[in-house]
């Protein structure tokens, strides 16, 4: 009995276990000090966890991995740009950015949810393309409208031609605002306590949210839309709300991410957000239909551990850092492919089981 449960545990957590083994092998090869690794992990946990949290609600509502979270990231960046323009620094700067980002996120989240409702059964690919599409709209707004239609006060934000935001913006007054608000040093490792408090607060919020009426509705919609509809749950509205929540969280997550990084790559910072957050969640053992907070933390830890070690490990092993870098890219995409494959196989299994059940009930 015990042996079987161990086997079950390994099988259902195969992805994180593979990554753990990989890390265990690659850390000695990379030759990086444990102190350096711990510091990197702490930094990256504080930087990226929030973004990954944004993915949980749509999974609960059965909408898969929300590739549309880049919409929230764009909203957050627009908020930060305006905060920088208005010269608001420190924590107020972050709050202003979040305040501006929230209504934009609600709007974009509504749009995303509406479109995903029109493409039931292929939400993921649709939200993925929507991310690309809105990237075009974002470029239009930021590159052509800002400084023109939307006034921007400070000329150092703008391109020399007088409108359009520069490619890279320094967040000098905002950099580390949250990280350094309350920070501790333990054995020479600096820990951004305030950031972790925010992250934990939202974890708590998500746990409590699942217990609310709305959270339960989402779970029901995620299990079976037809049954949920029969039970009087407004399916489409619930799905839209799930995406709106996800988009707002992604917006805040991107603001936390960028205050840690300290610069905005105006036209690139958001592009990788979705891919990395999703890869991290999947590395943590989640699937497109099942994800929890443990997956988030384990995933961010393992995925970013690999980020840190694979270039140096690749260099020491084959003498080429570029190879390690490509390996890392390959793993982040490969892991999503494998996780999606497992998800599809699971869906097929459920479908076949259901068909069998229906056939039996007919007989």
Partner 1 sequence: MCSFGQIGKVIERFGWPRLIIAFFLVALFASAPLVNVRIDTSLSDVLVRVGMNGILVLAMVPMIQSGCGLNFGLPLGIIAGLVGAVTSMNFSLQGFVGFFAAILIAIPIAAILGYFYGWLLNLTKGDEMMIATYVGFSSVAFMCMMWLLLPYHNPLMLWGFGGSGLRTTISLQAFWLQILDKFLSFHIGNYFFFPTGSLVFFAVVCFVMWAFFRTTTGTAMMAAGSNPQFARANGVDVDRMRMLSVVMSTILGAIGMIVYEQSYGFIQLYMGPFYMAFPAVAAVLLGGASVNKATITNVVLGTLLFQGILTMTPSVINSLLKTDMSEVIRIVVSNGMILYALTRKEQVKKR
- Binding site residues, partner 1, CB under 8 A: 115, 118-122, 124-126, 128-130, 132-133, 135-137, 139-140, 143-144, 320, 322-323, 326-327, 329-330, 332-334, 336-337, 340-341, 343-345, 347-348
C-beta closer to partner 1: residue 43 or 126? 126
Phi, psi dihedral angles at 263 (to 5 degrees) = -140, 150
Q: Which is nearer to partner 1, 210 or 325 (CB)?
A: 325
Cβ 163 to partner 1 shortest distance, Å: 9
User: How far is the C-alpha of 160 from the C-alpha of 255, rounded, in Å?
Assistant: 26
Residue placing its CB nearer to partner 1 in the complex, 193 or 275:
275
Rounded least distance, CB 306 to partner 1, Å: 14
Give me Rg for the CA atoms of the chain: 22
CB of 269 to partner 1, least distance (A): 17
**Residue 120 or 175 with smaller CB distance to partner 1:** 120
Q: Considering only CA atoms, which of 13, 42, 28 is closest in space to residue 301?
A: 42
Determine contact, residues 47/257, Cβ cutoff 8 Å. Answer: yes
Sole residue written with tokens 């999503």: 336
Distance CA 302, CA 308 (A): 10
Helix (H, G, I), strand (E, B) or coil at 326: helix
Q: By C-beta, is 134 or 157 nearer to partner 1?
A: 134
Q: How far is the CB of 33 from partner 1 (least distance, A)?
A: 27
* Smallest distance, partner 1 to C-beta of residue 213, A: 26
Rounded Cα–Cα distance for residues 338 and 340 (Å):
5
3-state helix, strand, coil in the chain (%, to 5): 75, 5, 20
Is the Cβ of residue 3 or residue 121 nearer to partner 1 in the bound state?
121
186 vs 205: CA distance, rounded Å:
28
Q: Min. distance of Cβ 236 from partner 1 in angstroms?
A: 14
């Amino acid at each position: 009995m015990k042996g079987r449960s161990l086997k079950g545990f390994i099988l259902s957590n195969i992805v994180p276990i593979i990554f753990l083994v990989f890390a265990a092998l690659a850390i000695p090869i990379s030759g990086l000090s444990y102190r350096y690794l711990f510091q990197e992990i702490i930094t990256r946990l504080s930087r990226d966890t929030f973004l990954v949290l944004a993915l949980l609600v749509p999974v609960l509502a059965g909408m898969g991995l929300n590739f549309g979270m880049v919409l929230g990231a764009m909203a957050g960046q627009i908020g930060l740009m305006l905060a920088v323009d208005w010269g608001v620094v420190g924590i107020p700067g972050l709050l202003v950015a979040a305040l501006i980002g929230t209504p934009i996120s609600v709007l974009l989240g509504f749009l995303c949810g509406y479109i995903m409702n029109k493409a039931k059964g292929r939400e993921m690919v649709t939200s993925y393309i929507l991310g690309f599409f809105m990237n075009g709209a974002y470029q239009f707004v930021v590159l052509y409208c800002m400084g023109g239609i939307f006034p921007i006060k400070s000329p150092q934000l703008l391109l020399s031609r007088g409108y359009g935001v520069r490619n890279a913006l320094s967040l000098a007054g905002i950099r580390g605002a949250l990280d350094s608000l309350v920070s501790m040093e333990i054995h020479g490792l600096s820990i951004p306590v305030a950031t972790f408090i925010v992250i934990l607060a939202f974890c708590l919020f998500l746990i409590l949210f699942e217990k609310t009426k709305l959270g339960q509705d989402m779970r029901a919609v995620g299990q079976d839309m037809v049954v949920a509809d029969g039970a009087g749950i407004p399916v489409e509205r619930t799905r839209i709300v799930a995406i709106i929540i996800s988009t707002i969280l992604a917006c805040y997550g991107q603001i936390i991410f960028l205050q840690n990084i300290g610069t905005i790559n105006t036209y690139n910072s958001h592009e990788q957000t979705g891919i990395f957050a999703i890869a991290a969640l999947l590395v943590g053992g989640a699937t497109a239909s099942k994800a929890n907070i443990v997956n988030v933390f384990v995933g961010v830890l393992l995925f970013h551990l690999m980020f840190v070690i694979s270039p140096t490990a690749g260099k020491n092993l084959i003498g080429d850092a570029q190879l390690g870098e490509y390996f890392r890219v390959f793993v982040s995409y490969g892991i999503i492919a494998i996780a999606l494959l497992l998800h599809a196989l699971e869906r097929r299994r459920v479908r076949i089981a259901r068909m069998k059940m229906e056939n039996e009930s007919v007989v």
